[in-house]
Amino acid sequence: MENNSETILEMDNICKSFPGVKALNNVSIKFKKRTVHTLMGENGAGKSTLMKVLSGIYQMDSGTMRLRGEDVIFQTPASALNHGIAMVHQELSPIVDLSVAENMFVGREPVLFKLPVINRKEMNKKANALFEEIGIKIDPKRRMGDLSVAEMQMVEIAKAISYDAEILILDEPTSAISDAEVSVLFKIIRNYTQKNKAVIYISHKMEEIFQISDEITVLRDGEFIGTNPASDVSEKELIKMMVGRNLNEIFPKTETKIGDVSLRVENLSLSGKFSNISFEARRGEILGIAGLMGAGRSELVESIFGVHPPESGSLYINGKEVKIRSPEDAIDLGMALITEDRKLTGLNLKDSVKNNVSIVFLKKLARAFSVVDKGREVSSVEELIKKLSIKTPSRNTNVSSLSGGNQQKVVIAKWLLSDPNILILDEPTRGIDVGAKAEVHKLMNQFTEEGKTVIMISSEMPEIMGMSDRLLVLSEGKLTGHFQRSEFDQEKILACAMNHIEKESN
């Protein structure tokens, strides 16, 4: 099939620079009809920039785009859309107070008798028909804000499909949806390409990429590295292309000496979130917490960290009972929490790399009159920028201009600087590239080698099984499983995550 697929879009020698960065350097790719073409690369490799050029959000500095053999330049997203190019962005922008159907047809609502009055009935009917066709079960009359993130994502995708675009761009569409929804999405994508259309897919998830792709193009540091048919290339080769070096192991877990209990949790409860959670974590140990989205994992660690203190239960650090009523208490007791959503709870996007990294540590940098010791601040921040190889023009650069992976490193740097003994990481590698992921894992290993404790939440099964010494499973706010490393079994863990199967650990 691939051989007789005709080329629909050619991007030729595309260049795009931002102040200080060459984001795209002579990138040339051909996209074919009836094909799912995946773009891969580390964060900052230029995938999103390339797609923003294609969809008219950015203008290229030089290069040509030929759509069906004709030279095109898109000045605005609307003009790209008119030429049959639709994009679903990684970050959604729903209008929460409008209905699902209103969101889908915003700007092109069906009207009554050519009057500026929306034909609501017609609109809902159209939305329903589309949902039915592609197999999504969402009521078009529901308020957008009441939908789960996964449902919003599906609505966005349906909206993009409703334009009947020749080229559909999906930027990490599965980052917020469950496995069941992924399979619905893949069916939608398959059906779409059957209609003689092209899909461009951006993702970091290897398994998915091999499932859905026909062709895979790798970008690195804004340069084109290569295009391969998905059937002709292995995961290892792709990773090598992406990082430009061999990664010996994806999850290089090191054996550490496991010591005394550092954190003990007894019968912790917070109504509506979780109940009767008891566990312990030891020095030198990585304790994994697995579970489905919404199982209460984030709520549990946030509660331990004092963000929403638990209603009942007790906490012990190094055998001594402690009361944690606020994050400040937790920090003073040597805890750190790297949260799931760096933009919401991790970073001050209006401030510099330096000020973000030092904010937790600031208290310890104070001299007389609580004046910050600038010299020490700068040197410790610089040290961490080097240690974590954070790619930033300078420490005074605004964090908002860094790529996702580097922003995540800034969050990690901020917590490493506070020198914690118990490091809690909530989905620390979500949405970051393979290279940065490996670096985060290396840091976790270094941390436990120093005899400190790591607690990690992850929804990626290979990651959590690869990195953890022990594993807890949460389901609907209850502890439903407890596994030693030797007992790890993906199916059993998943079973605990989905059902309330109590597995007694010995």
Extract the tokens encoding 429: 């590698």
Shortest Cβ 406–other proteins spacing (Å): 17
Cβ proximity to other proteins, 237 vs 351, nearer residue: 351
Shortest Cβ 419–other proteins spacing (Å): 13
**146 half-sphere exposure, CB direction, 13 A CA radius:** 9
Report strand pairing: 274-282 vs 261-270: antiparallel
Shortest Cβ 347–other proteins spacing (Å): 6
Residues that bind other proteins (CB under 8 A): 18-19, 305, 307, 326-328, 330-332, 337, 339, 344-351, 355, 358-360, 362-363, 365-366, 369-372, 374, 401, 414
Cβ proximity to other proteins, 154 vs 338, nearer residue: 338
Shortest Cβ 295–other proteins spacing (Å): 21
Gyration radius of the chain over CA positions: 24
Cβ proximity to other proteins, 354 vs 441, nearer residue: 354
Shortest Cβ 27–other proteins spacing (Å): 19
For 384: left if phi > 0, alpha if psi spans -120 to 50, otherwise beta; the answer is alpha
Shortest Cβ 160–other proteins spacing (Å): 26
What is the C-alpha to C-alpha distance for residues 365 and 353, in angstroms, rounded to an integer?
A: 17
Please tell me whether residue 292 adopts helix, strand or coil conformation: coil
What is the C-alpha to C-alpha distance for residues 265 and 322, in angstroms, rounded to an integer?
A: 10
Taking the CB of residue 194, how many other CB atoms lie within 10 A of it? 9
Cβ proximity to other proteins, 187 vs 367, nearer residue: 367
- Spatial CA neighbour of 158 closest among 98, 104, 83: 104
Cβ proximity to other proteins, 23 vs 51, nearer residue: 23
Cβ proximity to other proteins, 162 vs 358, nearer residue: 358
Shortest Cβ 359–other proteins spacing (Å): 5
What is the C-alpha to C-alpha distance for residues 217 and 230, in angstroms, rounded to an integer?
A: 9
What is the C-alpha to C-alpha distance for residues 409 and 454, in angstroms, rounded to an integer?
A: 17
Shortest Cβ 417–other proteins spacing (Å): 11
What is the C-alpha to C-alpha distance for residues 95 and 320, in angstroms, rounded to an integer?
A: 49
For 259: left if phi > 0, alpha if psi spans -120 to 50, otherwise beta; the answer is beta
Shortest Cβ 331–other proteins spacing (Å): 4
H/E stretch holding 275: strand 274-282
Report strand pairing: 335-338 vs 261-270: unpaired
Shortest Cβ 352–other proteins spacing (Å): 10
Cβ proximity to other proteins, 174 vs 339, nearer residue: 339
Extract the tokens encoding 58: 């950015």
Cβ proximity to other proteins, 171 vs 426, nearer residue: 426
Q: Tell me if 267 sits within 8 A of 258, measured CB to CB.
A: no
Shortest Cβ 363–other proteins spacing (Å): 6
- Measured at the alpha carbon of residue 399, what is the angle toward residues 20 and 436, in degrees to the nearest 5? 85
Residue with tokens 């104070």: 366
Extract the tokens encoding 70: 């004709």
Cβ proximity to other proteins, 102 vs 299, nearer residue: 299
Q: Which amino acid is at 190?
A: R
What is the C-alpha to C-alpha distance for residues 53 and 68, in angstroms, rounded to an integer?
A: 17
Cβ proximity to other proteins, 38 vs 355, nearer residue: 355
What is the C-alpha to C-alpha distance for residues 260 and 446, in angstroms, rounded to an integer?
A: 18
What is the C-alpha to C-alpha distance for residues 463 and 283, in angstroms, rounded to an integer?
A: 20
Shortest Cβ 57–other proteins spacing (Å): 13
What is the C-alpha to C-alpha distance for residues 162 and 86, in angstroms, rounded to an integer?
A: 10
Shortest Cβ 377–other proteins spacing (Å): 10
Cβ proximity to other proteins, 46 vs 481, nearer residue: 46
Taking the CB of residue 179, how many other CB atoms lie within 10 A of it? 11
Cβ proximity to other proteins, 390 vs 411, nearer residue: 411
- Measured in residues, the chain has a length of 506
Q: Tell me if 433 sits within 8 A of 220, measured CB to CB.
A: no
Cβ proximity to other proteins, 108 vs 374, nearer residue: 374
Distance of CA 359 to the CA centre of its chain: 24
In this structure, what DSSP letter does residue 296 have?
S
**284 half-sphere exposure, CB direction, 13 A CA radius:** 10
